[in-house]
């Protein structure tokens, strides 16, 4: 992957109709480049928990990105018990 304005995502769950997304107990390390972390788009419910995020990030977690349907979320979206190392965070 290359080019101006491109980025990777550690994990992006995306579909027209996802019942539930569970992203649990992962460790991420990124040195150089940028990533948007874990995405759960167009999901009815989600849980992102027990993860460790380190390195260069502009976002750690997202619940609905551009061109997705935030109204798809009809249940709980729980983000808990994650460790975010802010020392190299490069986003807002």
Look at residue 5 in the predicted model and tell me its pLDDT: 62
Selected residue with higher pLDDT from 71 and 47: 47
DSSP string for 29-61: EE-SS-B--EEE-SBS-EEEES-EEEES-S-SE
- Ordered by start, the domain boundaries in the chain are 11-86
Greater confidence (16 vs 92) lies with 16
Considering the entire predicted model, what is its pTM?
0.79
Q: State yes or no: pLDDT of 1 exceeds 50.
A: no
**Per-residue pLDDT tens digits for 3-26:** 566 667 788 888 778 899 999 999
| pLDDT score of 10 | 80
Q: State the pairing for strand pair 83-84/52-55.
A: parallel
């Amino acid at each position: 992957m290359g080019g101006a304005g491109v980025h990777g995502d550690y994990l992006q769950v995306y579909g027209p109709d996802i019942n539930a997304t569970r992203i649990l107990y992962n460790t991420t390390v990124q040195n150089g480049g940028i990533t948007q972390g874990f995405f759960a788009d167009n999901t009815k419910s989600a849980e992102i928990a027990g993860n460790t995020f380190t390195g260069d990030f502009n976002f750690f977690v997202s619940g609905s990105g551009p061109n997705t349907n935030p109204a798809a979320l009809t249940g709980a979206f729980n983000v808990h018990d994650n460790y975010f190392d802010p020392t190299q965070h490069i986003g807002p």
